[in-house]
């Protein structure tokens, strides 16, 4: 980065507005080695949010949390520090879950510390807050949705992903009831909330556990899928298509039937797009399946 050290930080060691502006204009790295040391330091300090998957994967979440705990005056005990140390060298996702567990012992939903963290400049800190929503014991799913809404609509896509992952375990434990709570989100004007309803209920999902009931009986997800079958948002359509593609791996005939029904009742390009992507695994299997010799 250009400029002298005096232009990079203030008397407290915090980055100046000029330095933040420089980081905001940075180019997206293709690999970790392309991330400048100063940018990585800023990510690990929580001064800036990650822009790409490469940056997100590169953040040292333990270092970031220890820095955050010091600034927020969190009193970490030996158990906390032991758990944090055990996270070193693990995956980014495992680190975030582990840090969220530690954070949950020091911060409660709605308290002053939590409210400050929700607005934190770092997307990693905000994703920890999203995971906290799922870690609270004994809370009704409808209340969790009220708390997770901020993160489901976050400006950063990584936070939005961690938001649905944070509630995934609750959908897995009671798919029918949670789908009932999610249906109103399919009618939201906000495409991010509509997409959340689809993504959190995917039978297989990405980087997460399967939902056995929806994997084996995907028709239970129709209250979520039907309202979104001609969605105007590509962000939502891709999620719906991926949902059905997940289902096609265990219930291929059902996916063929439901997508055929959609094509009969809807002539929109949006529905055709969803159906085409939803059937991609089925069609790939059909084209690669060996033919019988006569």
CA distances from 124 to 43, 117, 207, 262 (A): 9, 10, 17, 39
Beta carbons within 8 Å of 268's beta carbon, 6+ residues apart: 230
Q: Please report the domains of the chain, with CATH numbers, ordered by start residue.
A: 28-137 (no CATH), 174-287 (1.25.40.290)
Per the CB < 8 A criterion, the answer to whether 132 and 139 are in contact is no
Token representation of residue 128? 């920890």
Q: Give 164's contacts (C-beta < 8 A, 6+ positions apart).
A: 152, 196, 199, 200
Residue 46 has pLDDT above 90, yes or no: yes
pTM, rounded to two decimals: 0.89
pLDDT, tens digit (0-9, with 9 covering 90-100), for 95-131: 999 999 999 999 999 999 999 999 999 999 999 999 9
pLDDT in tens, 266-275: 989 999 999 9
What is the per-residue pLDDT across 68-89, written as a single tens digit (0 to 9) for each? 999 888 999 999 999 999 999 9
Position 8 confidence tier, pLDDT thresholds 50, 70, 90: low
Q: Report the chain's mean pLDDT, rounded to a whole number.
A: 92
């Amino acid at each position: 980065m250009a400029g002298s050290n005096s232009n990079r930080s203030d008397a407290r060691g915090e980055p100046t507005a000029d330095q933040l502006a420089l980081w905001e204009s940075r180019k997206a790295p293709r690999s970790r080695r392309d991330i400048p040391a100063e940018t990585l330091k800023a990510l690990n300090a929580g001064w800036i949010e990650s822009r790409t998957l490469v940056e997100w994967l590169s953040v040292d979440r333990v270092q970031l949390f220890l820095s955050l705990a010091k600034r927020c005056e969190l009193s970490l005990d030996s158990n906390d520090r032991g758990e944090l140390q055990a996270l070193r060298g693990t995956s980014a996702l495992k680190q975030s879950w582990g840090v969220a567990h530690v954070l949950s012992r020091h911060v409660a939903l709605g308290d002053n510390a939590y409210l400050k963290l929700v607005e934190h400049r770092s997307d990693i800190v905000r994703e920890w807050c999203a995971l906290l929503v799922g870690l609270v014991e004994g809370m009704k799913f409808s209340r969790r949705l009220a708390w997770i809404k901020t993160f489901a609509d976050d400006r950063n896509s990584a936070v939005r992903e961690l938001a649905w992952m944070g509630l995934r375990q609750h959908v897995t434990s009671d798919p029918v009831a949670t789908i009932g709570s999610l249906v109103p989100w399919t009618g939201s004007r906000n495409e991010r909330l509509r997409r959340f309803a689809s993504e959190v209920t995917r039978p297989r999902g990405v980087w997460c556990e399967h939902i056995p009931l929806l994997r084996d009986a995907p028709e239970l997800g129709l209250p979520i899928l039907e309202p979104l079958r001609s969605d105007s948002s590509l962000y939502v359509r891709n999620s719906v298509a991926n949902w059905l593609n997940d289902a096609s791996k265990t219930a291929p005939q059902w996916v063929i039937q439901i997508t055929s029904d959609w094509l009969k009742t809807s002539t929109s390009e949006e529905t055709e797009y969803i159906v085409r992507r939803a059937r991609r695994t089925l069609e790939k299997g059909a084209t690669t399946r060996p033919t019988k010799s006569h």
